[in-house]
Amino acid sequence: MSENPYRDAIQKAIAENDVILFMKGTPEAPACGFSARTVATLQALETPFTAVDVLPDPRIRQELSALSNWPTIPQLFAGGELVGGCDIVTEMYQSGELAQVLGAAPGSGTATPPPPAGVQAAAAPMGIENRLGA
Amino acid sequence: MPTAEELKQRIEASIPGAKAQVASPDDVHFSAQVESPAFAGLSRVQQHRLVYDIFAGELGGAIHALQLKTEVP
């Protein structure tokens, strides 16, 4: 671990989860309209995803934006890459690109290691939040 | 407070050949459509970064939200 445990935890989460959404609030209770819309889009595609709430600690958001070079929340990552925020996700959903990108994310042959078994199917995707807040 | 017109001018001054349409109901939430040949060959993420970079430090502050659509003419 480096001297920045937040950045390490975020990097690890992005690498280990094929589809991961950093958002305000939770999928069940989004705290912002843009996060809500992004969750609804992912749910419309029936894409399993891991969600991380950035609100409990401002350092999560600071480190995430420093890492991704993206100033706003939500941020969707697939296969270790930033897909975009709410506008891009919505646009790509409408054009059909999002299904392609997310469909191709698992085992797409990138340098990202495959997730441990069971991560995709996890019913409680918020487990990671605890690790980030630890 | 920034105005939609101000955002439009800053976008057009910062990105080569850009044409922007910016709307805001309250001078806090903005939505912008930006067209520029400078976007050619860039991913959407890279295109949006070019616009976000103009307002670095203001997003989430004076500019609470900036809804963005970018296009190559």
Task: Give, for A130, the enclosing helix (H) or strand (E).
Answer: helix A127-133
Read off the pLDDT of each residue in A44-72 and give the average, rounded to a whole number.
95
Query: B49 and A72 in contact by Cβ < 8 A?
Result: no
| Angle ∠(A21,A55,A90) on CA atoms, nearest 5 | 35
Spatial separation of the C-alpha atoms in residues A63 and A60, rounded to whole Å:
5
Q: How many CB pairs under 8 A join A and B?
A: 31
**Which residue of A lies nearest to B66 if distances are taken between CA atoms?**
A72
What band does A28 get if pLDDT is binned at 50, 70 and 90?
A: very high
A93-117 residue pLDDT tens: 999 999 999 985 554 444 444 444 4
Most A CBs within 10 Å, among B29, B45, B53, to test the A interface: B45
Give me the amino acid identity at B56: A
Residues B27-65: tens digit of each pLDDT: 999 999 999 999 999 999 999 999 999 998 898 889 988
Residue in chain B closest to A84 (alpha carbons) equals B45
Residues of B in contact with A86 (CB under 8 A): 67
